[in-house]
Structure formats: structure tokens, C-alpha cells
Chains A and B, each alone.
Chain A
Amino acid sequence: MTFVKRYLSLAIIGTFTVIMAIMGFVGLPFSTVELLEKIAIAIILAVSLNMVVGFLGELSLGHAGFMCVGAYVGGKVAVLLSQSLGGTHIVTVILALVLGGSVAAGCGFIVGLPALRLRGDYLAIVTLAFGEIVKNIFENVQFFGGQTGLRSPQFIGKNRFIVFIIGFVLVLLTLFVIQNVVRSKHGRAITAIRDNEIAAKSMGINVTKYKLMGFVISAVFAGLAGALYSFTQSNIQAQTFDYNYSIEILVIVVLGGMTINGSIISAVLITFLNIFLQKNLGGSFAIAKDIIYAVVLILLVIYRNAPALKSFREKYNFQALWRKIFKRKHNPAKVKDDAARWDVVPTKIEMNEVLSTDVVIDKTGDNSADVGERGGNK
């Protein structure tokens, strides 16, 4: 049972991918394919950022920077290879992904180094600076296209639907790897560092190793998401990867309650919201998009954390619904093994400075209510 619960998200996304693949053969409208690609990219980014923010407990504002590295390196590799192999050759795709991911991993290692000495806000500034530096470097190097951007071999027509299949395979890979890391002893060491670095050191945990591990794993998947992004665009612009993009990923993670499953759900919802607003607000209303987006975010954050709404949240959440359907009584004393709740990771990060809204998780409430809320209300 625990095994089923653990990989439920993987199973759902896997089934979804298979269904979409079948429908893709029949023929999907281009806008649907595009939307699915965007969702895949958002999920990969959110889940990988959650590794650093949720599990390692460090605030990173440079996630778009890693993605930028992956996009440019992957895109360039694809361009170079497509001349000899053709744009949609499988070797091209795999090499672009592998190289994009590994160069991003190198960058993750470099950013991880100051993380050993800096904490909280200071590290956030360093990562923010990293994102901006990367963006500016790629914008000004002629090899990568310079100001005009990198022209990547876009996948078109029937081939386009292969890209989103690749995207969802990558989503599954990301989930599989990150879930297994977090659930292992290595993940426990990482969460121990988040909870109390001094105690972790005295328990014999090599803090240097595990912090770098967290940053590198996070960066690898951001790089993969970037390479995937490069397949969907005909022209990669460095300006896309500005700090706003990083914040957007962070917002997805925070709204997801800094858990893996929550990140997936909020990645889907936020991407939908973004695209829905983009489509339906034209002309002079275009500016209203940002306002509506911001208002929705504020309302969601307030809903998640307002003490006045606590009883409401406890009554109406996914877990309560689940219990109602299956007539199960919630009994915290009966929980057999904590393996079932492995992804319930409350976090101590205080994001007030970043988001200007109070999202500090209230720890005074009793345990069972806390878990129920986290488990369901995403």
C-alpha cells in the first residue's frame, strides 16, 4: 500500500502520458501540444527547485539561470548535430539533453559552493546574481547567437508531438529520481541539514557533500527542462530567463506547500492560469493579466495560511474528501509506518521577504491537523 501511495503521482502521470501519446498519433491540435509541453517544463522545474527550497531549506532565486544554461547548451548541440544527423534524430535529442543537463550540473556545483558559507537572504542574492550573470553571458556571446538569440532546430508537424512525449518521460524521470533521493538515507541527511545544521554536523553528516548534492541534482533537472524548452522554440531569447521566471517557479513551489505532489498540482494550475489569461485577454486588457495573476496568487496564499480559515480548510480538503468517499476514519495513532507520509515535509523557510505575504507555516497546531492539511490542501 505504501508503495502504491509513494508512486501514485508517477502512475497518474504515466497513464496520462500513454493516453496522450495515443491521442497524439490520431492527431492533437497544436495548442494542446504546446500547453502540454509547457506543463511538462513547469513540473520539472518546480519539482527540481523543491529539492533546494523544500528539502535542503535554502532559498534559490536563480533556477531560471540553470534552465538558461540547459536551453542554450542543449539548443546549440541540437543545432550542430542536426546539420549532420537531422533535427529530429534520436541521438540529437539525447545528446542535447545529456549535455544540457551536465553543464547545468556544473553550474549547480559552482552555485552550491557559496551555499556552504551563506544562508537565507544572502544566498538568495547570490543565486539571483547567478541567474542574471548567466543570462547576460549568453546574450553577449556570438557563438550562441548574441542579441538575436539562438536559432534552434524546432520540431514541427508530426515531430512536434514527440517533444511532449519526451517532456513527460523527463517528468517521470525527474519524479522517480527526486522521490528516491529524498526517501533514501541521502535525502534524510539533506532534510536534517535543513532542520538543524549544527546538529547534523555533530551527527557525522558531511554538510559540504550533501548541500552540493542537493544543488547539483536540482540544477541537472533544470538543465534538462531548459534543453526541452529549446526543442519547443524556434528562437531562444536570453531575456526569457530573467529573475521573474525564477520567482514564478518559486511561487509554484511555495503554492504547492513545498512538497513534491503539491508542486506538480500547482505547476499544472499555474500554467493553465497563465495561458488562459494570455489567450482571453487581448488588446488593451493585456496588462490586466499580470494584475489578475497577482491577485489570484495573493488569495491562494492567504487561503492556505490564514488562521481564520483553518477550520474550513480542515473540513474541505482532498484528504477529508478521500476519507468521506472510502469511509475511512483518520486515526493518527494508527499510522503504521512513517514511510506512508514520506513527502510530508513541513519547512522552516520564511518567505515573507520574498513574497511579501505571510506564508510561515504555523507549527502550533496539533500534528494530525497539520499533516491532514498538508496532505490534502494543495
Chain B
Amino acid sequence: MASTEKKANTINPQKTSKKHKREDIVSEYVLETRNLGITFGGLKAVQDVNLKIKKNQIYGLIGPNGAGKTTVFNLLTGVYQPTTGAFYLNGKDLTGLRQDKINHKGIARTFQNIRLFNNMTVVRNVMVGLQNQPEYKCSLFESIFLLPRHFKVEKKMRARAKEILKIFGLEDERNNFACNLPYGKQRKLEIARALATNPKLLLLDEPAAGMNPNETEDLVNTIKYIRDNFDMTILLIEHDMKFVSGLCDEITVLNFGTVLTEGNTKEALNNPDVIKAYIGG
């Protein structure tokens, strides 16, 4: 955790020569990126990524280590500002917005190394995710002087958080501190928290990492459930090829920051270039 933070602070992306002017487009896709790219110093970390993700699709982003998958996620969530290109959510240009603003517009993510609010209870973790939705609006003044809206909002939030936790089977754990959960449940909680922000697009960064086959199967079902019941579009990074081929409709394969191939999962995985990139030679 510390090392990645340091990296994000010390290596500054090169400033764009001219500021990106946001222009909305007409797009049939939930997420569309156009020539998305970023340069760290002289290193071209990601170049010309063109993703086109349809509604209700589960889309995979795979590639060998250091291919730039997580960098793409960081670009899409505003951690890094892209040096080239732009990305659109339902045709709305979100390039260059702040992280929290991008989340408000409808992109939520999980992290490769779990980042929960460890010293808060499970239910509160989810409630933090809920708090920016207009239905749970409550000003500081109302909270301080305990006006009726404060209680109403708190009650509604707690009920909604419990509902979300129920989907992930975490309802009984809701009063435990997040740091005391076992690994698999922490992963689930992170997804639950991301889901609580009511996104249009959910980015999952290696959701099955470190899970045993049973847990992985459970996760596959949960992700499908989310897609069907929350009307969600999902973009995920994963190294487990069985997981990817069982879940994703389409994938994009990245290697050294460029797109190697994209399209139907089976075809892309059988592409000789992809196999070469993974096992060398």
C-alpha cells in the first residue's frame, strides 16, 4: 500500500500540452474510451486503449504483469489524468474530473490490494458508500442539531446498507470491524461498498485474487447476480483464465500498455499472440 501511494505521488504524469476540453458525444456504449493513454516521464504506460463496453456486459481486461491494466483503472477513476485521449460514460465526457466527481457520475471501483475502512464496522463501510446519493442528503447543520431529517436519513441509510450486505451474505458480520473479516469477505465487502455508491459501471480489480475455488465460484454467481439485479455493467481485471472465460462476454488483452487483441473471450484467449505474451517465446 505504501509503495503504490509513493509511486502515485512521485511519478507525475507529464502535463498535457493543451488542456483537454470536455465534449460529450453520442454513444451507444456505457463506457467508451478513445485513444486513452498516459505517459510517466518517458515511459508510455498505456497507449491508445479503445474500450467499448455495452450495457449489462461483463467485460474483461487481461494481460501479463505490468501490462497497464490497473493504470487503465486509475485513468478511468481519475487517480491519473490521461495525457492523451478521453473516456465517456454513456456519452458523457468524464476526462480530467476529480476522483469523487467521477464516482458521482457513476464509476465505482474496487482495489487490487484491499482498501477498506478498517477501523469502521462493516455496515458503516457500506454507509460511507451510500452517502453521496441525493436521497440521503443531510446538511451538517441538520446533523449537529439533530433535526428530524438526520434521523430519517440515518435510518434509511442503515436499512439500505443492510439490504446490500444481505446480498453478499455479510449481514451477520455487520457489527464487526472490517479489519477483522477474513480475506474472502473483505473482498466481498469492497464490492458491496462500491455497489452502494449506485454506479453505472463497476470496475473490479482482481476480485478473485487469493480466493479458493469454492469462493471463486461463489464470486462468479455474485457478480452475475449484481449484473442482473442491479442492471450493472462490469469491467474487471483478472488473472484467473477460468474465471474470465466463465464470466466475461468480451475481453481486451493488454501487453506493454498497448492493446494486443480484443473481442470475443474464447477467440481472444486462443489468439497465438496472447498465448505468446503470457508464456513468452
The reply to whether A186 and B140 form a contact with Cβ atoms under 8 Å apart is yes
- Contacting B at CB under 8 A, from A83-112, are none
Task: State which of B103, B120, B145, B179 has its C-beta within 8 Å of the C-beta of A188.
Answer: B120
Task: Decide yes or no whether A201 CB sits under 8 A from chain B.
Answer: yes
- Give the chain B neighbours of A213 by CB distance below 8 A: 140
In this assembly, does B117 line the interface, its C-beta being within 8 Å of a C-beta of chain A? Answer: yes
Which residue of the partner chain, among B117, B145, B154, contacts A195 with CB atoms under 8 Å?
B117
Task: Contacts A195-B118, A203-B103, A207-B100 given; indicate if A185 touches B157 (C-beta within 8 A).
Answer: yes
- Shortest A82–chain B CB gap in Å is 31
Report yes or no: A192 in contact with B140, Cβ–Cβ below 8 A. Answer: no
Please report the number of residue pairs spanning A and B whose Cβ atoms sit closer than 8 angstroms. 115
Query: Contact flags (1/0) for A173-198 with B, using CB distance below 8 Å?
Result: 00011001101111111011011101
Which of A29-37, A158-166, A308-316, A344-352 is near enough to bind chain B?
A: A344-352
Q: Is A306 an interface residue (CB 8 A)?
A: no
Of A180, A346, A367, the contact of B143 (CB 8 Å cutoff): A180
Nearest-neighbour CB distance to chain A for B134, whole angstroms, equals 12
Is A191 within 8 A of B136, CB to CB? no
Interface 1/0 per residue, B114-128 and A, CB below 8 Å: 011111110110011
For window 191-219 of B, CB contacts with A under 8 Å fall at 193-194, 197
Does A204 lie within 8 Å of B140, measured CB to CB? Answer: no
Give the total of B residues in contact with A, Cβ under 8 Å. 44
Among A183, A189, A203, A367, find the residue whose CB has the most chain B CB atoms closer than 10 A.
A203
Chain A residues with CB under 8 Å of B123's CB are: 338
Task: Contact check, B100 vs A194: say whether CB atoms are below 8 A apart.
Answer: no
Q: Which residues of B contact A15 (CB under 8 A)?
A: none
Are B144 and A185 in touch, CB under 8 angstroms? no
Contact in complex: B131, A206 (CB < 8 Å): no
Q: Would A200 and B144 count as touching, CB distance under 8 A? A: no
A180, A185, A207: the one within 8 Å of B131 (CB)? A185
Partner of A199, one of B115, B127, B144: B115
A345 to B120, CA, bound (A): 8
Shortest C-beta distance, A178 to chain B (Å), equals: 9
Q: How far is the CA of A181 from the CA of B103 in the complex (A)?
A: 24
Please tell me if A19 contacts chain B, counting CB pairs below 8 Å: no
Q: A189-B131, A205-B132 are in contact. Are A199 and B140 (CB under 8 A)?
A: no
Closest B residue, CB atoms, query A185 = B131
Q: Are B131 and A188 touching (Cβ within 8 A)?
A: yes
Q: Is B71 an interface residue (CB 8 A)?
A: no
Interface string of B124-168 (1 = CB under 8 A from A): 100111011000101010011110001001100100000000000
Say if the beta carbon of A202 comes within 8 Å of chain B: yes
Q: Are A188 and B127 in contact (CB under 8 A)?
A: yes
Question: B243 contacts the other chain (Cβ, under 8 Å)?
Answer: no
Question: Which B residues lie within 8 Å of A194 (CB)?
Answer: 119
Interface code B91-124, partner A: CB below 8 Å = 1, 0 otherwise?
Answer: 0000000011001100011010001111111011
**B143 in contact with A185 (CB, 8 Å):** yes
Whether A353 sits at the interface, judged by CB under 8 Å, is no
Q: How far, in angstroms, from A202 to B100 measured CA to CA in the complex? A: 6
- Given contacts A180-B143, A186-B143, whether A204 and B197 have CB atoms under 8 Å apart is yes
Question: Measured between C-beta atoms, what is the minimum distance from A371 to chain B in Å?
Answer: 9
Docked-complex contact B144 and A180, CB < 8 angstroms:
yes
A337 to B144 alpha-carbon distance, docked (Å): 21
Q: Which residues of A contact B117 (CB under 8 A)?
A: 191-192, 195-196, 199-200
- Pair A191/B119 contact, Cβ less than 8 Å: yes
B119 touches A184 (CB 8 A): no
A26 within 8 A of B: no
> What per-residue 1/0 map shows which CB atoms of A42-83 lie under 8 Å from chain B?
000000000000000000000000000000000000000000
- A184 engages B138 (CB within 8 Å): yes
A184-B143, A338-B123, A363-B179 known; A204-B111 Cβ under 8 A:
no
Contacts of B120 in A (CB 8 A): 188, 191-192, 195
* A335 contacts across to B, CB distance below 8 A: 175
- Whether, in the assembled complex, B177 has its beta carbon less than 8 Å from a beta carbon of chain A, the answer is yes
Q: A367 and B154 in contact (CB under 8 A), knowing A186-B140, A191-B120?
A: no
Distance to closest chain B CB from A343 (angstroms): 12
> B115's contact among A184, A196, A207, by CB below 8 Å, is which?
A196
- What residue of chain A has the Cβ atom nearest to residue B103's Cβ? A204
CB distance from A374 to the nearest CB of B (A): 11
Minimal beta-carbon separation of A203 from chain B (angstroms)? 5
Residues of B close to A176: CB separation below 8 A: 144
Give bound CA distance, A183 to B146, whole Å: 10
- Closest A residue, CB atoms, query B132: A204
User: In this complex, which of A176, A187, A192, A367 has the most chain B Cβ atoms within 10 angstroms of its Cβ?
Assistant: A192
Apart from A184-B143, A201-B99: 16 A-B pairs, beta carbons within 8 A: A184-B150, A184-B154, A185-B138, A185-B153, A195-B117, A196-B117, A199-B116, A203-B100, A204-B129, A205-B128, A205-B131, A213-B140, A338-B121, A341-B175, A345-B119, A348-B118
- In the complex, 21 of the A-B residue pairs with CB atoms within 8 angstroms, ordered by the A residue number, are A180-B144, A181-B144, A184-B143, A184-B150, A185-B153, A185-B154, A192-B128, A196-B116, A196-B117, A198-B111, A201-B99, A202-B79, A202-B103, A203-B129, A204-B104, A205-B132, A213-B140, A335-B175, A338-B121, A338-B123, A345-B119
Closest 8 CB pairs of A and B: A184-B143, A204-B103, A199-B115, A195-B117, A201-B99, A204-B132, A338-B121, A192-B128
